[in-house]
Chain A
C-alpha cells in the first residue's frame, strides 16, 4: 500500500514519473468494462468488435481514464486530490498489447498547489493509445 504523499514543494516542472508497463489482456479489457459498468458489446464480444472493424475486443475509454487516474494517484499518494483528468484516445488497446505509461510535470501553480501532469500511454503495436493531462492538488 502506498502511504507517502508527494509534497508540492518537492516537485518541479520537467520532473518525470516512473514509467509503468501495463500488459493489455482480455481480462483487463472485460474487467475494466464491467467495473465501469460499460456493457457496450465491443468491449466484451469479439465478434461484435470484428463487425466494427477491429480484430478483437478493445479497451473502453472509462478504463483508459481509470488507468490514467491510478497511474497518477499511485505516484502522488493518498493525500493528493485529483481536480481534472482530460484525455484523448488514439489507437485502441487490444489483448496481447503492452501499454507503457509515462508522465511529466508540465506546470505548477503556487497559489493553488495544483500540478499539471502530462500522461501518455503508448502500446507496442499501434502506438499512442492515449494522451492527456491530470491536474492534481498536492499538500504543501
Chain B
C-alpha cells in the first residue's frame, strides 16, 4: 500500500473503534452438563465439581459448576463460523482487513475476570465492543494490527458474571508457499537438535570416540603431557607425536555458569555449563545435570558419563557424586 492508501485504510478501520458488535448475543445453549463434560474431557479437567453432580452437591459449590475458562465458549457462534459467519460488526471489520491483504487472524491475548461460578441452567449473554485498534506492527507472523474487544457477560437476571478483554492480530501472512508445497508428508517441524559439533582434521578423532561413548585425552608421546582440547602440537615440548588415554570422568567443578536466556531450541533450560577439572589433570566443558544449579559449588565432586542428549548427539554430562 502507498502511504495514502494506508492512511485511507487506517481511517476505515478506526471508524469501527467504540462500536458495539451488534446487539447483545445470548448463547445458543444455556450452561449445560453435556458441553461441560465435553470440555472437561479435552482439557483434562479432573474436578468432580464439573462432571459429577452427586459429588458436587456435597462440596462447597453445592452442585455442578462450569469450568470458568468456558465462559467465552457459551456465546460462541458455533458451526456457521466455518463457512458462513454472521456479518456482525467485528466480521465487517475483519472483512476490511481481509480486503487489504490482512487475511491472517490469531488470538494473542485473553484476560477474563469471573464474578461468579456458572451453573447448569444459567443463560449467558455477551455484550461486545470494539475497544481499540493498535498502530501497524511488525510481528513474528507478519505485518498487522491488534484489535482489542471488550466483552461483558451477563446472566438471565441481567447481572454481570464476567468481563473479558480479547486481542487478536489481523496480519498479512508471511509467504506460506514452502509450507503448502511440502505435500502429504509429515511436515510438522521436527524437534530441534543441538548445534552439531565442529569436526576438523585435528579433532574429529575425539568426537568419534565421544560418539562411541568414550572421552579421550590427548597425550604427547615425547613428554607424556596431557592436553585438551585436541590440537596438533604439544605446548610443552613442541612434539607433534601423540596418542590418547581414556578419561575416568572423575572430576570436580572448576567453574560453571547457568544460562536462562535466550533459549536456543534443542537445549534444556536452565542450562548449566561447567568447566570440569578432570582427575587426569585436563579440563572439559560439559553440562552439569540433575542438580538445582543454585546448589552447585566450586570444587564439588562430580562424575561424568557419555550420554545421548538428542536424536543425533552424544556428549559427556556430569552429575554430583
Interface residues of A (CB under 8 A from B): 1-3, 5, 22, 28, 31-32, 34-42, 44, 47, 50-56, 60-63, 65-70, 73-74, 77-79, 81-89, 94-97, 124-127, 139
Pair A87/B48 contact, Cβ less than 8 Å: no
Partner of A53, one of B43, B79, B176: B176
Query: In the assembled complex, which residues on chain A have CB atoms less than 8 Å from the CB atom of B174?
Result: 53
Contacting residues of chain B (174-206) with chain A, CB-CB under 8 angstroms = 174-176, 179-180, 182, 186-192
Please indicate the chain B residues that have their CB under 8 angstroms from the CB of A89 in the complex: 106-109
Residue A56 contacts which of B77, B141, B188 (CB distance < 8 angstroms)? B188
Q: Would A73 and B192 be within 8 Å (CB), given that A39-B78, A85-B68 are in contact?
A: no
Q: Check A74–B42 contact: CB distance below 8 A.
A: no
Contacts of B189 in A (CB 8 A): 55, 94, 96, 125-126
Residues of chain A lying within 8 A (CB to CB) of residue B40: 70
- Tell me how many residue pairs across A and B have CB atoms closer than 8 Å: 182
In-complex Cβ contact of B78 among A37, A50, A52, A85 (8 A): A37
- Answer whether residue B7 sits at the interface, using C-beta atoms and an 8 A cutoff: no
A3: which B residues are within 8 A, CB to CB? 48, 55
Asked whether, in the complex, the Cβ of B112 is within 8 Å of the Cβ of A84, the reply is yes
Q: Which residues of B contact A (CB under 8 A)?
A: 35, 38-49, 52, 55-56, 59-61, 67-70, 72-73, 76-82, 103-114, 117, 141-142, 173-176, 179-180, 182, 186-192, 263, 265
Contact between A79 and B60, CB atoms less than 8 A apart: yes
Of B44, B110, B112, B173, most buried by chain A (CB within 10 Å of CB) is B110
